[in-house]
Chain A
Amino acid sequence: MSRTALGMPGLRPGSGNLFAEEKFPSAARRELGNAQLRRNLKHATSTIRTKRLNVTGELPDWEELREAGSALKTSVMARLPELLEAFEANVTARGGTVHWARDADEANRIIHGLVKAEGVDEVVKVKSMATQEIGMNEYLEEHGIAAYETDLAELIVQLDHDKPSHILVPAIHKNRTEVRDIFLKEMPGVDPGLTDEPRRLAMAARAHLRAKFLTAKVAISGANFGIADSGALSVVESEGNGRMCLTLPGTLITVMGIEKLLPSFSDLEVFLQLLPRSSTGERMNPYTSLWTGVTEGDGPQKFHVILLDNGRTNALADEMGRSALHCIRCSACINVCPVYERAGGHAYGSTYPGPIGAILSPLMTGVEAEENGSLPYASSLCGACYDACPVKINIPDILVHLRGKDVDAHRGGLPSQLDVGLKAASWALSDGRRLGAVEKLLPLGRAAAGKDKKIKKLPGIAAGWTQSRDIPAPPSQSFRDWWAKEHKES
């Protein structure tokens, strides 16, 4: 595969929570056994799906918006070094400090240093994929600093010592009774009479979080967008917890993936339409916060932004795969994916589940890393993700491209059953006469069928097929033979 030289010495693979620790098929098989999980997922994803279709369908220029989003991101990737430097200069000029982190560990060390310098042992957090990806909460905890999630669903997951299973609705795998039980067990000072009524649950979380907002000295956020020509940053959210974190504490630390840049403020016009409609299925999200550097007497007086690579330049160097970096984390692809709907987010191992995770994780870490080589196969290639993606990432094509990389990485080793079968099939299927000869043998398969003309059990990897499906007995002659007889050919 061709690699574009970016002039960056020593690309390093992404680290942190980007890895499947178990091959997808076996992880998915286990998760499939969880009937509650499947019910929750089916209900939640189909609800969001319908909402999204309603609000994207009502815009006459939705397809043009997708085109614009795709074109803008393509140009950002082509100009990334230049835009990053402009962003750094503008943040600095407006009183912020820019840090560069090549991987998860560097980012965590920088963050820890900044928090320690403020002399505090707790911070509040805005929901952020980048900090999940680098495992920041765990790192800070090991160093004696408690990081409190303030997004309701992230709070639920954190209190339960669990992992998010969806990038937009991290607790999609929990229902309200489970949430009540978690609050009763883990939330300090909670009313022991708490019910599972959603309003009561939200009130309990609100009371718990309010104390944190008012005492925290440091907040940590991610960013949905960074504007290169002004150094502005933006976070979009639904609950207002983000606005609290971004405005109340004296110090704000923002962790932003380097692909989050947009050239200028006017580009938000496109993305602030694409993002809420694709993610929550709303015309507009309730809170859009924008800030630029520091302003005396208003908001945080110390502002740091950490520009995170963590394998993004690896993805950028892959000509076929680089458009995965266009992702704006809306989760539309996840909500339409039939594989995600059944396997759930945890089966993907990485912070990024679903179709986008199945390409993004191996692109960032390399397809050889741990079990990430199994992720590109976690798709029937139905194409629903590509249709749903607001920035038109051709996920099915990239999945197939990464399968090619995985197959090539294993060439020369001990061949699998599939290797042997597909090599033989390549020989037979690249010549009409050879295929014709093989087809003459097909009627022998009729012997394998029972009286009912069905084959019910096959050996080896084909047993995966017959676990739930029959195969009809082959016909007595192929079409090719029938045609030859009809047309008096030999």
Chain B
Amino acid sequence: MKIALFATCIVDGMYPRAAQATVAVLERLGHEVVFPKGQACCGQMHVNSGYFKEAVPVVANHVRAFESEDYDVAVAPSGSCVASVKHQHPMVARRAGDAGLEERATAVGKKTYELSELLVDVLGVTNPAEQLGSYFPHTVTYHPSCHGMRLLKLGDRQAGLLRGVKGLELLDLPEADQCCGFGGTFSVKNAYVSSAMLADKAANIRSTGASVCAGGDYSCLMHIGGGLSRQGSGVATLHLAEILASTEAAPVAVPGPAGQPVKVVVK
């Protein structure tokens, strides 16, 4: 299968290792990965902040980039950005009175999958340890991000994949379905409420005693990780893709409390 990677702007610029790990996992399964060069961002930050006019060129760019390449399906290591591509893009086009863009955006959205959705529903990954050689000998707790959980209805897909990783001990996160308080510009516009939500999320994560908090969205993980780091908790945050990409031959290092960079071995 030819798979187009939508890295998402935050992973592209700040957490390239999650996109590298996504490539590694897909290539390990024998698929070809392409990276449409024109891609930039889903525009969710603009839409969710009410800047619909400014979102239009961002949406149009995404649609253009993902129409110009030949591929079977597109994938992004983010439930939130995929939900934006699927649900917000047609709405932004409609609001701008651009029926053509709405139709094209809908077509791109239909071919776009969140990583765990692609792995489980399309590529049939049921046992990451066997099928991907996934190995991660650490205690992990898992935060299901809101948009993956509620907009994409990912259900148990991400946690199920984590459970299938050799050596990984998954510890239940209390109040897991509660938002971490990120919410994009909410975190600066309503910084105090957001921080109060984060404090509770961080306390729940720390109560599990896990050394890593995993998730499927680096936006939420940046928020949670930023709080855990400020608290000096010593708990690291890692993307699901990085954990799936980790093998016995090339285990992914758990970033220490000092946040040392992680090396991911591709292929």
Contact = CB atoms under 8 A, between A and B. Distances in A.
A259 interface: no
Interface of A: 1, 24-25, 28-29, 32, 338-339, 342-343, 376-384, 386-387, 397, 400, 402-408, 418, 422-423, 425-426, 428-435, 438-439, 442, 452-454, 456, 461-462, 464-465, 467-475, 477-480, 482-483, 486-487, 489
Contact of A467 (B15, B55, B195): B195
Given A25-B189, A380-B179, A403-B50, A482 B199 contact: no
Contacts of B19: 479
A434 B65 CA distance: 14
B40 A429 contact: yes
Interface in B196-228: 196-199, 222-223, 225-227
A65 B246 CA distance: 46
16 contacts: A25-B189, A29-B192, A32-B196, A338-B197, A380-B179, A380-B182, A381-B146, A381-B183, A403-B50, A422-B54, A423-B54, A426-B51, A430-B60, A435-B40, A442-B14, A479-B16
Nearest to A424: B54
Contacts of B139: none
A382 B146 contact: yes
Interface string B48-64: 11111111011011000
Given A338-B178, A382-B150, A468-B230, A422 B258 contact: no
Interface stretch (B31-39, B123-131, B162-170): B31-39
A394 B152 CA distance: 15
Chain B interface size band reads 35 or more
B185 A418 contact: yes
Interface of B: 7, 9, 11-17, 19-20, 35-41, 43, 45-55, 57-58, 60-61, 65, 91, 95, 146-147, 150-151, 177-179, 181-199, 222-223, 225-227, 229-230, 258-261, 266
Given A382-B150, A404-B50, A468-B230, A426 B57 contact: yes
B179 A479 contact: no
Nearest to B60: A430
Contact of A482 (B20, B46, B192, B258): B20
Contact of A379 (B53, B54, B151, B186): B186
Contacts of A478: 12-13, 16
B214 to A, nearest CB: 17
A377 B178 CA distance: 18
Given A406-B50, A422-B51, A479 B11 contact: yes
A482 B266 CA distance: 11
Contact of B181 (A380, A433, A475): A380
B150 A400 contact: no
Contacts of B38: 431-433
A135 to B, nearest CB: 28
Contact of A435 (B9, B43, B197): B9
